[in-house]
């Protein structure tokens, strides 16, 4: 959510940002907010005047009654009653106007970083860098489900009976590999100085609307019927929510956190659910990293976060590339975003395995996450998040890049201690 002062002082900059995100339908919101804000400030100013008048007249009543001027005192009581009636009406109006302003402000997109490439959708995202040599094995690489089934590691048919499409049973060494990857990711991030968390897997609506846009909420979140609770789509949601209505001392920054959680997503949209795979599913597990920091430090932490993911995948010898999201592909709260994509030998192309985002102070404004500075005054923190790893999607890249011609899968050295010393899955 933007600072209302930006709309008051430079509405054209906000409109230009909306145009660069190809969301022209939202241009009218800027003028609506400015007009509503004008009315709200007028109502507030009038309320302040009325309160002063009421206080002044109330004092006069006491003085008049003390002098025995009962009639004049009663007249002033009538004035106070009239003021109270007008004040109640204006306070109600001010509350309504404030709610209408917030409703619109939550929809106006955040100001994107000047370095973000301008483009309409993900087809115009820009490749930044590649790490590792993409493999082209001398044998045909089967679909990832065929690899798993050959190793007796997945059961989609049973999951379809119990839960429908978009769910799965992992079993045997594939299930163990899934857990091993998450355990390794946990320790990888702890070794890099991040504090490990297991957060709540359900959050209240106040937190949901604080960490994401309405469109994302509608397309992603599962609502718990009859309760003000939602299943999290990623642990970022509850980890950022941890700081709601908090004032942090500057000495407490940066907060560098890594969290494990299951994730639940409707996956409403153009991509749909793959009946024969575990790439886009309703339930998965993930290791996440989150940073809360000073505004001037967020560009540096943004780079550190996505480099962590690159280093993690390269430690398992999986080729990856980084891809900068263009303006039209950025969610409304994001200032800048870089995807990390892993190489698929079967498809001979890269696919997304993680996304790193700098949200500026958007989430902090929505949730009231402030930093205390005694000299210059309190200010809003910046928040960032990035995926360390999200199996079972990551399993696709892992299995394809470590598959041998005889159908066995080589386990890289960093994972062997989590797999009981095994070197092969066969």
- Catalytic center residues: 265, 280, 352, 355, 393
For 8-121, strand residue ranges (E) read none
Residues 244 and 369: beta-carbon distance below 8 Å = yes
Q: What is the DSSP string of 25-37?
A: GGHHHHHHHHHHH
Rounded to the nearest 5°, which phi and psi values hold at 296? -70, -15
CA distance 234 to 79: 57
Helix (H) or strand (E) run with residue 116 in it: none
CA distance 388 to 42: 49
Residues 294 and 371: beta-carbon distance below 8 Å = yes
Closest CA to 322 of 191, 126, 136: 126
- Distant-in-sequence, close-in-space partners of 226: CB < 8 Å, separation ≥ 6: none
What distances in angstroms separate CA 321 from CA 49, 82, 156, 338, 352, one per listed residue?
A: 61, 69, 30, 10, 9
CA 102 distance to own-chain centroid = 19
In sequence order, what are the beta bridge partners of 383?
A: 292
Residues 132 and 343: beta-carbon distance below 8 Å = yes
Query: What SS3 class is residue 404?
Result: coil
- Distant-in-sequence, close-in-space partners of 16: CB < 8 Å, separation ≥ 6: none
Closest CA to 233 of 263, 206, 258: 263
Closest CA to 382 of 249, 238, 240: 240
> What torsion do the CA atoms of 232, 236, 239, 241 make, to the nearest 10 degrees?
-70
């Amino acid at each position: 959510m933007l600072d209302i002062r930006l709309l008051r002082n430079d509405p054209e900059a906000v409109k230009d940002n909306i145009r660069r995100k190809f969301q022209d339908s939202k241009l009218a919101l800027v003028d609506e907010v400015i007009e509503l804000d004008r009315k709200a400030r007028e109502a507030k100013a009038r309320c302040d005047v009325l309160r002063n008048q009421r206080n002044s007249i109330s004092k006069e009543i006491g003085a008049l009654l003390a002098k025995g001027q009962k009639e004049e005192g009663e007249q002033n009581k009538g004035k106070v009653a009239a003021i109270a009636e007008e004040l109640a009406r204006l306070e109600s109006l001010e509350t309504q106007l404030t709610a209408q302003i917030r409703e619109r402000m939550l929809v106006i997109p955040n100001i994107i970083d000047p370095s973000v490439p301008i483009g309409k959708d993900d087809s115009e995202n820009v490749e930044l860098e590649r790490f590792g040599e993409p493999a082209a094995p001398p044998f045909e690489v089967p679909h990832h489900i065929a690899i798993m089934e050959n190793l007796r590691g997945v059961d989609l048919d049973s999951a379809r009976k119990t839960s429908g499409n978009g769910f799965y049973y992992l079993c045997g060494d594939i299930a163990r590999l899934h857990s091993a990857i998450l355990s390794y990711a946990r320790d990888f991030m702890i070794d890099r100085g991040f504090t490990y968390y297991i957060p709540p897997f359900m959050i209240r609506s106040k937190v949901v609307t604080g960490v994401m846009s309405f469109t994302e909420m509608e397309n992603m979140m599962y609502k718990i019927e009859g309760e003000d609770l939602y299943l999290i789509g990623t642990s970022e949601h509850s980890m950022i929510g941890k700081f709601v209505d908090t004032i942090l001392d500057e000495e407490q920054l940066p907060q560098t956190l890594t969290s494990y959680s299951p994730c639940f997503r409707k996956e409403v949209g153009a991509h749909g659910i793959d009946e024969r795979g575990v790439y886009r599913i309703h339930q998965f597990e993930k290791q996440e990293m989150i940073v809360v920091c000073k505004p001037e430090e967020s560009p540096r932490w943004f780079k550190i976060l996505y480099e962590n993911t690159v280093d993690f995948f390269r430690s398992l010898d999986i080729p990856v590339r980084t891809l900068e999201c263009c303006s039209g592909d950025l969610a409304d709260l994001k200032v800048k975003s870089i995807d990390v994509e892993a190489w698929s030998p079967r498809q001979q192309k890269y696919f997304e395995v993680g996304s790193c985002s700098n949200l500026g102070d958007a989430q902090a404004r929505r949730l009231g996450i402030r930093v205390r500075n005694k000299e210059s005054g309190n200010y809003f923190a910046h928040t960032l998040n990035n995926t360390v790893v999200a199996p079972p999607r990551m399993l696709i890249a892992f299995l394809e890049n470590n598959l041998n011609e005889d159908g066995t899968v080589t386990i890289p050295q960093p994972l062997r201690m989590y797999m009981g010393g095994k070197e092969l899955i066969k």
